[in-house]
């Protein structure tokens, strides 16, 4: 592909078409992350296990998702996104089917972790990294919009699962999800066969060196801080997202109310992600992430005094509006400061940290619940981890200011 042709593709009509396909794939593949959240009470009752054991399938799903973001990210850096997306569709189909056939919590957990989790990974971090090569001026909003697919999945799939529960059980629902993923994702993947446009590597250009001077630290140190920040924000984020359905059941509001709150939370997150993308194009990824993290922490505080039905709906809305833009901001930060040729694996590494945070937080909240008999201490635990994220992002921002002042 000639340089002039690659310039036409970047930020051009094809780039926006590719964004639309990426959103669809992220929405479909996101079933792997959200289905297990909604079926958690049914799975717990079916297998006769306690809350912490019932949380293990989600934890393993997120661990598989975390590992997949790094491994598939490296694959995307070498050969593009087309084959990984096909592999994702097949893994999701096999994983949901095996989970539906499982006779015990162990088999169910392994199917979720090794097949569903890894299969879901291709439709998030690697997809965002691939898409980022097709945008320059509007990279923030493009990456944020593609990341919205994950939240669209959180809006649509829980509603679909709740609807299916009116006439069937969770096992039949899993078979339906398997069929939908394979039938839709494989054909859509063929629209992504075009490789990324030829472009210079910012690792050797002025923009990259400027970014590293702004960060005032080595790429390795910056990556390490982003990993720590991602872990902290997502341990906090996981408390409402993973346990809101179970929390509503404990309060006597039922599964349907909890699923509605999850849908509201993630629906608001879509708006938040789009707004954060526009904001990142103006003020940069670090400041955008800090805004979202502070908002998320304030929302977590609101869960402590308010547990009425109406107030929980409102707090869940506030939480969604606050936290939606946090995770895609990491991808923007990586592309602002780190080499483009390593985008897949570096974005994947940071996304892995956020997913590990979700996995750790999902299990930890269930463990704290089993110890205390309520979710109050689990919310406090989330707030503490959120402060860690805020501290790291303030450090990165202040180091940048120190370097600018010295210059």
| CB-based burial label for 3 (10 Å; 0-12, 13-18, 19+) | exposed
User: Which pLDDT band, with edges at 50, 70 and 90, does 7 fall under?
Assistant: low
Residue whose token pair is 């994950």: 150
Residues 6+ apart with CB under 8 A from 230: 327, 330, 350, 351, 353, 354, 357, 389
Query: What pLDDT, in 10s, does the model give residues 77-132?
Result: 777 888 999 999 999 999 999 999 998 888 999 999 889 999 998 898 888 888 88
Whether 242 contacts 395, CB under 8 Å: no
The Cβ of residue 373 has, within 10 Å, a number of other Cβ atoms equal to 10
Q: Are 325 and 144 in contact (CB under 8 A)?
A: yes
Q: DSSP secondary structure string, 288-344?
A: HHHHHHHHHHHHHHHHTT--SHHHHHHHHHHHHHHHTTHHHHHHHHHHHHS-GGGHH
Residue 203: pLDDT band (50, 70, 90) is very low
Statement: residue 211 has pLDDT above 50: no
Residue 28 confidence class, pLDDT cut points 50, 70, 90: very high
Q: What is the mean pLDDT of residues 221-242?
A: 89
| pLDDT higher at 92 or 365 | 92
Q: For residue 170, what are the CA distances in angstroms to 26, 37, 38, 44?
A: 23, 12, 9, 12
Tell me the C-alpha distance between 305 and 132, whole Å. 41
Per residue, what are the HEC states of 137-192?
Answer: CCHHHHHHHHHHHHHHHHHHHHHHHHHHCCCCCHHHHHHHHHHHHHHHHHHHHHHH
Domain ranges of the chain: 7-193+201-406
Sequence-separated contacts (24+) of 279-282 with Cβ below 8 Å:
279/140, 279/325, 280/140, 280/141, 280/144, 280/325, 280/329, 280/332, 281/137, 281/138, 281/139, 281/140, 281/141
More confident of the two residues 377 and 11: 377
Say what the pLDDT of residue 144 is. Answer: 85
Q: Does residue 202 have a pLDDT over 70?
A: no
pLDDT, residue 407, reads 45
Place 207 in a pLDDT band, splitting at 50, 70 and 90: very low
How would DSSP label each residue in 219-271? HHHHHHHHHHHHHHHHHHHHHHHHHHHHHHHHHTS-HHHHHHHHHHHHHHHHH
Q: Of 194, 193, 195, 189, give the one whose Cα is nearest residue 91.
A: 189
Q: Which of 30, 58, 107 lies closest to 361, judged by CA?
A: 58
Please determine, for residue 35, whether its predicted confidence score (pLDDT) is greater than 50: yes
Residue in 258, 362, 315, 238 with CA at minimum distance from that of residue 41: 258
Q: What is the mean pLDDT of residues 155-183?
A: 91
Topology of domain 7-193+201-406 in CATH is Growth Hormone; Chain: A; (1.20.1250)
Each residue's pLDDT tens digit, 301-347: 999 888 888 889 999 999 999 888 888 888 888 877 776 667 677 78
Q: What's the pTM value of the predicted model, to 2 decimals?
A: 0.73
Q: What's the CA gap between 169 and 40, in Å, rounded?
A: 13
Mean pLDDT of the chain: 83
């Amino acid at each position: 592909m000639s340089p002039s042709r690659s310039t036409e593709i970047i930020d051009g009509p094809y780039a926006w078409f590719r964004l639309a396909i990426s959103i669809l794939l992220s929405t479909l593949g996101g079933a792997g992350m959200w289905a297990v959240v909604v079926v958690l009470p049914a799975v717990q009752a079916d297998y006769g296990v306690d809350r912490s054991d019932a949380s293990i399938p989600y934890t393993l799903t997120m661990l598989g998702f975390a590992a997949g973001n790094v491994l598939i990210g490296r694959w995307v850096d070498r050969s593009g996104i087309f084959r990984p997306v096909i592999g994702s569709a097949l893994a999701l189909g096999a994983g949901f089917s095996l989970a539906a056939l499982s006779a015990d919590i162990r088999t169910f957990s392994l199917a979720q972790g090794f097949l569903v989790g890894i299969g879901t990974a291709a439709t998030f971090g690697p997809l965002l990294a691939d898409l980022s090569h097709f945008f320059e001026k509007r990279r923030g909003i493009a990456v944020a919009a593609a990341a919205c697919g994950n939240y669209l999945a959180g809006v649509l799939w829980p509603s679909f699962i709740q609807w299916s529960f009116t006439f069937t059980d969770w096992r039949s629902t899993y078979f339906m999800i398997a069929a939908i993923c394979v039938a839709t994702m494989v054909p859509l993947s063929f629209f992504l066969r075009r490789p990324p446009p030829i472009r210079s590597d910012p690792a050797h250009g002025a923009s990259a060196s400027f970014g590293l001077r702004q960060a005032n630290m080595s790429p390795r140190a910056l990556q390490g801080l982003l990993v720590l920040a991602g872990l902290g924000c997502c341990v906090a984020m996981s408390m409402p997202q993973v346990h809101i359905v179970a929390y509503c059941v404990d309060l006597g509001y039922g599964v349907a109310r909890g699923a509605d709150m999850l849908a509201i939370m993630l629906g608001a997150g879509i708006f938040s992600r789009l707004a954060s993308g526009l904001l990142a194009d103006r003020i940069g990824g670090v400041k955008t992430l800090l805004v979202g993290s502070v908002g998320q922490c304030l929302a977590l505080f609101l869960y402590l005094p308010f547990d009425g039905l109406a107030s929980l709906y409102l707090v869940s809305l506030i939480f969604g509006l606050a936290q939606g833009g946090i995770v895609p901001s990491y991808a923007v930060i990586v592309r602002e400061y780190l080499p483009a040729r390593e985008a897949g694996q570096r974005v994947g590494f940071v996304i892995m940290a956020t997913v590990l945070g979700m996995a750790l937080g999902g299990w930890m909240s269930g463990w704290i619940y089993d110890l205390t008999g309520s979710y109050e201490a689990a919310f406090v635990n989330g707030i503490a981890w959120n402060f860690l994220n805020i501290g790291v992002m303030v450090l990165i921002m202040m180091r940048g200011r120190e370097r600018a002042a010295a210059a």
